Amino acid sequence: MTVTTGTSASAETISVYQAIGGRGALTAAVDDFFGRLLADPALGPFFPHGVGARHRAYLVTILGEALGGPERYRGRDIAEAHRGLGITDAHFDLAAAHLYDTLDGLGVPRHLSDYIVGIVAGLRPAVVTA
């Protein structure tokens, strides 16, 4: 997906990554998102040792690549990383709601939030393990 900005006379097409503010905005979103997950009584227990810089960087990279940024994810296979964690569809849906709240809190327009959450929804088969 690309986003057109400006007027018809001076319209520019940019990636969703650029439209939301690039790596800085994505990093802020990931930090807020993980804060919400850690504070959630149903999701926090999946992170008994918190969320380190490497885990945060993985998510920034995965999303950055998916949204048209220059990042290229080279971490563990997503399904392998989540295998055996017992993540249910309900957990996944709760995390998606937190992602919506994060994006809304950062002022991301709803049509872009829908697109971003839609990309993340494509990971459901790899993440849901129960």
Beta strands in 17-114 (DSSP E): none
In the chain, how many H helices and how many E strands?
7, 2
pLDDT given at position 124: 96
pLDDT tens-place string over residues 56-100: 999 999 999 999 999 999 988 999 999 999 999 999 999 999 999
32 contacts 105 by C-beta, under 8 angstroms: yes
Pairing of strands 2-5, 12-15: antiparallel
| Polymer length of the chain | 130
Largest CA distance in the chain: 54
pLDDT tens-place string over residues 23-67: 999 999 999 999 999 999 999 999 999 999 999 999 999 999 999
